[in-house]
């Protein structure tokens, strides 16, 4: 494995200081194939999606000379977007026929699949739901306390679908202006992108509008927390958001005691088009490791243990 260790001082956008963070390049796809989203299994192995392939990949970041190995290739699809663990070691994944140029998905092609690793070495795979009305199903999130529900961001329609992965039922949960595209707006033509739920609040990015926002899960006023060229993100155990920010950064959002959020840029110009992030598992140190995927085919590990709350 090629290890690239850089010690990077985070550039400040606020008065709060952050310690230097080490990074490691743990994998680079030989062809530069874009990597889209990431989930970390209880075993610490990574599950990786790509919009350029209908195959789900896995990589063990704890071994030397790690390889990107195939897990499963989904039928009637050309690419994969969101992935989330909705039960222990059971994952929902978005597969569809993607037009990468137009940033759309073929009508009726969006399928939510379930992969269950709990009882066998190879996953049990089943089709959980179809979303025929979707235009571009992107990020996925679980709903804490609701193990059969996942939320799906539609980047073209500007909404979050709620999907019951047990029954296949689909409904529109939230739709608002901050999730939508700007009429006749500039590229990229992607509205809501990444989304995650924490304590009854839905956090989400809008790539075209360049915003990171939150809204009560039951609906209400949207609060814009910051601006940037955002993609997907991860929430840590302290409630901070680590947001993939183009062209090559991470932005850290920290909630202060007064309820406002403080934003700082992390790893400026180091990452090459970061697309998503997920924290490690299995042990105190591992849970401080943030794995980041990029559209240039990188998987980068960032040690966040030095970041101050």
| Residue 78, both tokens | 């050309």
- Using one digit for the tens of pLDDT, what is the confidence trace for 68-89? 999 999 999 999 999 999 999 9
At 16, the pLDDT band (50, 70, 90 cuts) reads very low
The residue count of the chain comes to 309
Three-class SS state of 132 = coil
Residue 127 has pLDDT above 50, yes or no: yes
At 18, the pLDDT band (50, 70, 90 cuts) reads very low
Q: Which of 104, 173, 171, 97 is nearest to 135 (CA)?
A: 104
132 and 140 Cβ atoms separated by less than 8 Å: no
- Residue 139 vs residues 26, 48, 121, 259: alpha-carbon distances, Å: 24, 13, 27, 26
Q: Which of 175, 262, 155 is nearest to 222 (CA)?
A: 175
Residue 284 has pLDDT above 80, yes or no: no
- Using one digit for the tens of pLDDT, what is the confidence trace for 181-218? 999 888 888 999 999 999 999 999 999 999 999 999 98
How many other β-carbons are positioned within 10 Å of the β-carbon of residue 196? 21
Burial degree of 183 (CB within 10 A; 0-12, 13-18, 19+)? exposed
CA distance 106 to 136: 9
DSSP state for residue 9 in the 8-state scheme: P
127 and 111 Cβ atoms separated by less than 8 Å: yes
Task: Find the range with the poorest average confidence among 86-95, 151-160, 256-265.
Answer: 256-265
Q: Which of 138, 81, 129, 83 is nearest to 108 (CA)?
A: 129
ω into 247 cis (within 30 of 0): yes
At 163, the pLDDT band (50, 70, 90 cuts) reads very high
Pairing verdict, β 90-96 and 98-99: unpaired
Mean per-residue pLDDT, 118-144: 94
Q: Considering all CA atoms of the chain, what is the largest pairwise distance in Å, rounded to the nearest integer?
A: 51
Q: Looking at the domain 74-227, which fold is it? A: Neuraminidase (2.120.10)
For residue 42, the Cα-to-chain-centroid distance in whole angstroms is 17
Give the pLDDT confidence score for residue 20 in this predicted structure: 63
Residue 134 has pLDDT above 90, yes or no: yes
At 228, the pLDDT band (50, 70, 90 cuts) reads very high
| Residue 252, both tokens | 């850290």
Residue 9 has pLDDT above 50, yes or no: no
Domain spans, the chain: 74-227
Cβ-based neighbours of 8, under 8 Å, separated by 6 or more? 20, 21, 22, 23, 266, 267, 268, 270
CA distance 223 to 212: 9
pTM of the model: 0.91
Task: Find the range with the poorest average confidence among 99-108, 113-122, 291-300.
Answer: 99-108
- Residue 256 vs residues 25, 204, 244, 282: alpha-carbon distances, Å: 32, 19, 21, 28
Residue 120 has pLDDT above 80, yes or no: no
275 and 244 Cβ atoms separated by less than 8 Å: yes
Instruction: Provide the terminal-to-terminal Cα distance of the chain, rounded to the nearest Å.
Output: 32
Give the pLDDT confidence score for residue 175 in this predicted structure: 96
CA distance 193 to 156: 9
């Amino acid at each position: 494995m090629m290890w690239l260790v850089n010690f990077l001082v985070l550039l400040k956008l606020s008065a709060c200081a952050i310690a230097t963070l080490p990074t490691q390049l743990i994998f680079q796809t030989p062809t530069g194939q874009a990597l889209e989203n990431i989930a970390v299994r209880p075993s610490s192995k990574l599950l990786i999606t790509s919009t350029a392939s209908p195959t789900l990949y896995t990589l063990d970041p704890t071994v030397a000379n790690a390889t990107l190995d195939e897990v499963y290739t989904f039928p009637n699809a050309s690419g994969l977007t969101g992935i989330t663990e909705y039960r222990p070691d059971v994952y929902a994944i978005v597969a569809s026929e993607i037009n990468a140029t137009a940033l759309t998905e073929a009508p009726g092609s969006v399928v939510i699949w379930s992969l269950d690793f709990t009882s066998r070495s190879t996953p049990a795979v089943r089709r959980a739901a179809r979303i025929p009305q979707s235009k571009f199903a992107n990020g996925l999130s679980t709903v804490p306390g609701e193990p059969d529900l996942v939320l799906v961001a539609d980047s073209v329609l500007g909404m979050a679908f709620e999907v019951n992965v047990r029954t296949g039922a689909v409904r529109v949960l939230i739709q608002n202006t901050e999730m939508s595209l700007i009429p006749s707006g500039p590229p990229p033509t992607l509205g809501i992108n990444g989304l995650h739920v924490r304590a009854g609040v839905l956090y989400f990015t809008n790539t075209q509008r360049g915003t990171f926002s939150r809204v009560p899960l039951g609906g209400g006023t949207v609060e814009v927390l910051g601006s940037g060229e955002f993609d997907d993100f991860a929430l840590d155990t302290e409630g901070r958001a680590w947001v993939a920010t183009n062209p090559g950064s991470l932005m850290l959002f920290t909630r202060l005691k007064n309820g406002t959020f403080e934003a700082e840029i992390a790893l400026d110009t180091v990452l090459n088009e970061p697309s998503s992030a997920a924290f490690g598992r299995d042990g105190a140190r591992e849970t401080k490791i943030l794995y980041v995927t990029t559209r240039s085919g990188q998987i980068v590990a960032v040690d966040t243990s030095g970041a101050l709350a």
